[in-house]
């Protein structure tokens, strides 16, 4: 059972991240400064070093939170759909990806951009969190495929042999085998979604397309139908 001191420490660790997020939300990812956080907390800067050994460690913690929050959003969106309704699930998951990104642009840039000078999150920390976010869409697609509802167009089945070999090896090494064509479908959908989100976030598409939300939803629905999944 945690002592009073340990509880206090835990809340301080959380407060620091909270203030950091607030600062970034206000001034962009640039606004993250230890001294700024310390000012807001009415504490001196070196005091923060009792909690995070360096600025980069704080950022790493924020990134980890970000990946998990995004994963939570997608998992929740998936869970909210009725079963089986594979198309609705897929649609909801990718909409959740975009919605979360647009609602939390700073966190999204933190995890999927490189907004912090000279910083790259250690892979051994981020990869598990990333993988967690991919579980719902992988499951939904795999189940739909197993149920013979998802029928990928031909070109997903005739992948380049290097990719096909890699995906088969990957599926075998994993305890959770995913057919290469399903994996390819997921990569395609993710790629598309991510591209739209990133370009929209950097304000490149709104001036070209007008209603980016409608366009995005239309694109995802079109993909679902191309995969023989019914949606809406």
- How does DSSP classify residue 118? T
Q: Which residues contact 198 (CB under 8 A, 6 or more apart)?
A: 112, 113
**Contact by Cβ (8 Å): 14, 21:** no
8 binds DNA (CB under 7 A): yes
- Contact pattern from residue 129 through residue 168 relative to a second copy, giving x for each residue in contact according to CB under 8 A and a dash for the rest: -x------------------------x---xx-xx-xxx-
Nearer to a second copy among residue 51 and residue 215 (C-beta):
215
- Contact pattern from residue 15 through residue 34 relative to a second copy, giving x for each residue in contact according to CB under 8 A and a dash for the rest: ------------xxxxx---
List the one residue out of 146, 139, 134 whose CA is nearest residue 96. 134
> Which phi and psi (to 5°) does residue 115 adopt?
-80, -10
Chain positions 10 to 69 lying near DNA, rule: CB under 7 A, are 12, 32-36, 42-47, 49-51, 53-56
Chain positions 92 to 111 lying near a second copy, rule: CB under 8 A, are 109
Exposure string of 163-187, with b = 16+ CB inside 10 Å and e = fewer, is ebeebeeebeeeeeebbbbbbbbbe
What's the token pair of residue 2? 């945690």
Report in angstroms how near the CB of residue 48 gets to DNA at its nearest: 7
> Binding residues for a second copy, per CB under 8 A?
27-31, 109, 112-120, 123, 127, 130, 155, 159-160, 162-163, 165-167, 170, 183-184, 187-188, 190-196, 198-199, 202-205, 207-211, 214-215, 217-219, 222, 225
């Amino acid at each position: 059972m945690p002592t009073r001191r340990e509880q206090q420490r835990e809340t301080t660790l959380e407060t620091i991240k909270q203030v950091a997020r607030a600062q970034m939300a206000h001034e962009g990812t640039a606004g993250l400064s230890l001294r700024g956080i310390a000012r807001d907390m009415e504490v001196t800067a070196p005091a923060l070093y009792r909690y995070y050994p360096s600025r980069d460690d704080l950022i790493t913690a924020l990134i980890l939170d970000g990946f998990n929050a995004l994963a939570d959003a997608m998992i929740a969106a998936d869970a909210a759909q009725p079963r089986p309704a594979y198309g609705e699930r897929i649609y909801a998951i990718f909409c959740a990806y975009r919605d979360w990104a647009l609602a939390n642009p700073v966190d999204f840039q933190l995890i999927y951009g490189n907004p912090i000078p000279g910083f790259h999150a250690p892979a051994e920390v981020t990869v598990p969190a990333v993988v967690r976010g991919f579980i719902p869409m992988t499951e939904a697609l795999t189940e739909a495929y197993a149920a013979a509802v998802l029928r990928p167009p031909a070109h997903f089945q005739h992948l380049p042999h290097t990719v096909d070999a890699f995906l088969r090896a990957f599926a075998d090494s994993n305890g959770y085998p995913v057919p290469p064509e399903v994996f390819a479908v997921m990569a395609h959908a993710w790629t598309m979604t991510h591209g739209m989100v990133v370009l929209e976030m950097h304000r490149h598409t709104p001036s070209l397309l007008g209603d980016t939300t409608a366009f995005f939803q239309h694109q995802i629905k079109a993909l679902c139908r191309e995969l023989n999944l019914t949606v809406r």
